Each structure stands twice: as structure tokens, then as C-alpha cells.
Amino acid sequence: MKIVAALYPGNDLAEKYPELLGCAENCLGIRERLEKQGHTVVALTDRECELDKHLPTTDTLITTPFWPAYITREKIQKASNLSLILTAGVGSDHIDLAAASEHNITVAEITGSNVVSVAEHVVMQILALVRNYFPAYHDVMNGGWNIGKIAAKSHDLESKSVGIVGLGRIGQRVATRLKPFDVKLYYYDFHHVSTVDEAFLNIRYLSLLQLAANCDVISINCPLTPATKGLFNYDLLSAMKKGAYLVNTARGAIVDTEALVKIMKEGHLAGYAGDVWYPQPAPADHPWRSMPNHAMTPHVSGTSLEAQKRYADGVYECIIRKLEGRPIDKDYLIVDGGKVVSPSYSYAYEKR
């Protein structure tokens, strides 16, 4: 079997940090194990030309959300041998799931591998915005001591209203981690969670517009699907409470790029913290890099060293199951048997 992994470049860090499993050089720790079994493993960082050369002879393709190979319908049509696409991480929106279904290609991601890492990152970014951390940091780095200027835009998180869009595995962990801050928690999702979960999390459902109008902080934690693409457009961003903060560790395309730049320049929102962009890697002139009051990171929330170990182990498990003719864990499956089967995605595709 030929396995091709499109991964981010580790460069000179790969040898120094062997636990950096997600890079091409260390190849999820699977290369040596699979080559000993007689399989071909190719790791590459070029997600266009080099990947296209290998696609016609590839049986299993591994991608990541952090350095995504955008697996379009055209690419799938070139891959006549392809039967399995694995996302080393969580989020398979960079794959044309409809085309994968039509070609009976199984798509799986390592569900749960990133939930702790992303939830912690969300809380960090919320606090960074609310406490005005980055301007304070840059002030001291530039030799300043402008306490008044920093404190004028610094708040306590306690007693604030925090809204979570998407109360799945990550959203629930965000809520759990925010409870000790004594905030008022609200959520919006396409499906209500159980009353037991609502009571445990001390969280209340609101419509999306109610959430936007009433929350001091909103965290986006839903998958990117046809139903959520561009969900946070100019109208919704304008409907948010003036001076509110928006945190997005889900997918960049859920927020309209130009609309966000416009709303931030207008000063309607006090801050935006994002870990995700579109496209990725973000070009040097991406407008989010230069908009005011942001706290952007380069999609690192779900790839802590612990998360890398989890998704590397999950990828290896999926490959071994395929080789042995055993079914892949159903919780990992996004597309199977010619259908989109993951609840996170199937709702949106059923509506098309």
C-alpha cells in the first residue's frame, strides 16, 4: 500500500524535537513502522505539484487542518486508487466530502484528539482579549510603562456573558473551563443539548441573534460546513454587542474576511482572537494580519505536543485497521459507504 502524508515542514526543528510528530520529517511516527511491513510511505510539504504527482498511485492520503492539502473534486478524480483519506487532527472541511462520497472514498479524522488543546487555547485567547494582554506586552517590549493606556481597556471576565456557538466536544469543554470564572454561559447550536447537560454546564440556549446581541464574549466552536460558511457576516457581526469580543478557533471561513476587517476598523468590536484563517497558510498580505485589536495565532490550538501524539496514534490505528480488514472506529468516520455519516457534517449535507 502507498501512503502519502501532506504535512507541515519541521525544518531544523524535526531532529531536535522528535516529539514534533505532525511535521513531514517525523511523519507522525508511522514511516518506519509501516515501511517495515512493506508499505511505501511518502511525506511531503508541497500540497500542489508534488501531491498531484503522487495522487494517481496513492491508496491512503493523510492531511492536516494546520497545513491543509485542499482535496478538491479535481484532485479526487486524479486519484483512481485512493480509498482512504485521513485527517491528522479534527476538521475535514478541506476535503470535498460530496466528491469523496461519490467515489466511495472513506474519510476519517481523529475525533477527540484536539479537544483539550483547543478548549485551553480558547480560554487563553478570551483572557488575552478581555485583560488587554497583547497591548500590555508590546508596551513593555517597546520600553513603555503606560499603565493608564492599558488599564483603560482591561476588564474582569467575572460576571460577563459568554456565548458559545457550537456546543460539541470542544464547546462543552470551553464551558467547563469557564465555569470557575463565574461567567453567565449561553450557547447556540443547530441541535439543543440535553437538559441534563445544560444543567451540568449551567448554560442556557439562545438563538444566534439573541446570543450576538447579549454576550460580551462569543467563542466559535462549530465545524465548517455549507451551513456555517460565512455565518458571521457583516449583519451578524454588526448585531453583536458593541465592545464585545469574538474568538474563533473553529475555521476561518465561518467568519466573512472582509466583513470582519470592516467591523474591526469601525471599532464596533473590542477585539478578535482567531487561530484559524482562510486560506491556510495565510498569505503575508492577509487583511486579518493588519486589522486593529486582534490576537491572531497560526492555527496551533489543536496541535500541542500531547495532541500530536493523540492524532498520530489515531492515524496509525486507522491504517492498521484498514490493512487488517477491520472497520475504522465509527466515531472517526466522516464519509463511509458513499455517505457523509458524521453528525457534525451530515446535517448540513442533508440540507443541500
Burial class, 178, CB count within 10 angstroms (exposed 0-12 / middle 13-18 / buried 19+): buried
| pLDDT of the residue at 352 | 47
Distance CA 52, CA 281 (A): 19
pLDDT band for position 347 (cuts 50, 70, 90): low
| Domain boundaries defined on the chain | 2-113+304-350, 115-289
| pLDDT of the residue at 349 | 59
Kindly list the strands in the beta sheet with 271-274, ordered across the sheet, starting from the edge strand earlier in the chain: 203-205, 184-188, 161-165, 217-220, 245-248, 271-274
What is the biggest distance separating any 2 CA atoms in the chain, rounded to whole angstroms?
65
| Domain at 115-289, CATH homologous superfamily | NAD(P)-binding Rossmann-like Domain (3.40.50.720)
Distance CA 102, CA 144 (A): 59
Which helix (H) or strand (E) covers residue 161, if one does? Answer: strand 161-165
Closest listed residue to residue 198, CA positions, set 188, 213, 209: 188
> For residue range 228-244, what is the model confidence (pLDDT) as tens digits?
999 999 999 999 999 99
User: Which residues, listed in sequence order, are joined to residue 70 by a DSSP beta bridge?
Assistant: none
> For residue range 206-226, what is the model confidence (pLDDT) as tens digits?
999 999 999 999 999 999 999
Share of the chain above pLDDT 90, in %: 97
Q: Is the pLDDT reported for residue 165 higher than 70?
A: yes
Closest listed residue to residue 111, CA positions, set 163, 169, 192: 169
Over residues 36-55, the mean pLDDT reads: 96
Distance CA 223, CA 226 (A): 10
- CATH fold of 2-113+304-350: Rossmann fold (3.40.50)
* Catalytic site positions: 114, 251, 280, 299
pLDDT band for position 344 (cuts 50, 70, 90): confident
> For residue range 58-100, what is the model confidence (pLDDT) as tens digits?
999 999 999 999 999 999 999 999 999 999 999 999 999 999 9
CB atoms under 10 Å from CB of 264, counted, come to 21
> For residue range 257-288, what is the model confidence (pLDDT) as tens digits?
999 999 999 999 999 999 999 999 999 999 99
| pLDDT of the residue at 1 | 96
| pLDDT of the residue at 60 | 98
3-state helix, strand, coil in the chain (%, to 5): 40, 15, 45
pLDDT band for position 140 (cuts 50, 70, 90): very high
What does the CA dihedral 202, 204, 208, 210 come to, rounded to 10 degrees? -120
Q: Same fold for the domain at 2-113+304-350 and the one at 115-289?
A: yes
